[in-house]
Amino acid sequence: MHAMAGDLLDNRGRGDAQWGWPPIHPEGRKFGLGAVAISLIVLLGLGIGWLGWPMLLASLGVFAFFRDPERVVPQGRELIVAPADGLVTLIGQVPPPAELQVADADGSPGLSPEPVTRISIFMSVFDVHINRAPIGGTIKRVVYIPGRFVNADLDKASDENERQQVLIERADGVQIAFTQIAGLVARRIVPFIKPGDIVAAGQRVGLIRFGSRVDVYLPRGTDSKVLLGQKVIGGETVLAEIGKQALIEGVSQ
């Protein structure tokens, strides 16, 4: 589905949508063009067809990795949308990141250490890797933490891997944190935001190169509306509704 940015669409057929090729994010163009250039050198310059053709095909995969499709973001004050495309691999009660619990230098309080629901979304190399804001508000903190590059699908990746913690606060004081986590293949977290920026729900906030994970920490008293093993779409899938708690069961089939 393709719609122009800013278009209003609804569940009664209002708006205009059609399929279209997704654009490539500028961050990925240099990688794609570089891969094509190397492939052509091998194919035409060196005349190694058996290697050059597969490399040229792989170059298309590089462009596909950095695709940046438009998304239709559900509008609702209490809705929390998925910050990433991928598979929900972990849902559990854990304390928020320690780096976001401490007060800021200006005295702004951090998150409570009380456990909250964390939803972990694993992004394979086949998923869109543009990350989006789960709610609208002000970026209060962006904390980068160097670390390891173990499998992002493992629970310990939240504490051991290279990662970036982001805290968003609504005008009414509701705060939501999410963490961009590098993985086995991912080696670079690219932020599009900084503290003080005001973002809308579903707005692009960064990307992680080549396979990774995003953790979302829901406010206290809020349960996940997605299920373990569910595929979610960044900027479109509703992860939760603030203040709503309910057991939701699903059957794999």
Q: pLDDT at position 130, please?
A: 92
212 closest CA partner among 187, 178, 192 = 187
Amino acid at 245: Q
Please give the average per-residue pLDDT across 200-211, as a whole number.
87
3-class DSSP state of 90: strand
Q: Is it the case that residue 184 has pLDDT exceeding 70?
A: no
> Side-chain half-sphere of 143: how many Cα atoms within 13 Å?
20
Could you tell me if residue 5 is inside a domain?
no
Query: What is each CA distance from 245 to 132, 173, 198, 242, in whole angstroms?
Result: 24, 20, 28, 9
Residues 225-246: tens digit of each pLDDT: 999 999 999 999 999 999 999 9
Average pLDDT over every residue of 106-112: 81
DSSP H or E segment with residue 159:
helix 157-160
Residue 124 lies in a domain: yes
> Domain span at residue 53?
26-65
Q: What percent of the chain has pLDDT over 90?
A: 52
Angle at 124 between CA 228 and CA 217, to 5 degrees: 45
Q: What is the dihedral of CA 239, 245, 251, 253, to 10 degrees?
A: -10
117: Cα separation from own chain's centroid? 17
* One domain for residues 186 and 118: yes
Query: Under DSSP, is residue 141 helix (H, G, I), strand (E, B) or coil?
Result: strand
Mean of the per-residue pLDDT values of the chain: 88
- Give strand pairing partners of 118: 92, 217
pLDDT at 137 over 90: yes
Do 59 and 167 belong to one domain?
no
Q: What is the value of pTM for the model shown?
A: 0.87
Q: Are residues 113 and 212 in the same domain?
A: yes
Residues designated catalytic: 212
- Res 142: pLDDT: 93
4 domain-assigned:
no
- What backbone torsions phi and psi does residue 182 show, to the nearest 5 degrees? -75, 160
Q: How many helices (H) and strands (E) does the chain have?
A: 3, 13
Confidence label for 91 from pLDDT (cuts 50, 70 and 90): very high
pLDDT for 182: 81
Gyration radius from the chain CA atoms = 19
pLDDT band for position 61 (50/70/90)? Answer: confident
Q: pLDDT band at residue 211, thresholds of 50, 70 and 90?
A: low
Query: Which domain-ending residue is among 39, 65, 91?
Result: 65
Tokens linked to 49: 């067809």
Asked, for residue 18, whether it belongs to a domain, the answer is: no
Q: 54 with 83, same domain?
A: no
In a domain, 252, yes or no: no
Residue 253 located in a structural domain:
no
* 122 and 183 housed in the same domain: yes
Model confidence band, residue 109 (pLDDT cutoffs 50, 70, 90): confident
Contact indicator for 133, 197 with CB cutoff of 8 Å: no
- What is the Cα–Cα distance from 165 to 202, expressed in whole angstroms? 17
The C-alpha atoms of residue 28 and residue 64 are separated, in whole angstroms, by 9
Q: Note the helical H segments in 7-123.
A: 26-40, 49-65
* Amino acid, res. 13: G
Contact assessment for residue 35 and residue 66, using Cβ atoms and an 8 Å cutoff: no
pLDDT at 156 over 90: no
Could you tell me where the beta strands, DSSP code E, fall in 183-222? 189-191, 198-199, 204-208, 212-217
Confidence class of residue 204 from pLDDT cuts 50, 70 and 90? very high
Distance CA 73, CA 223 (A): 20
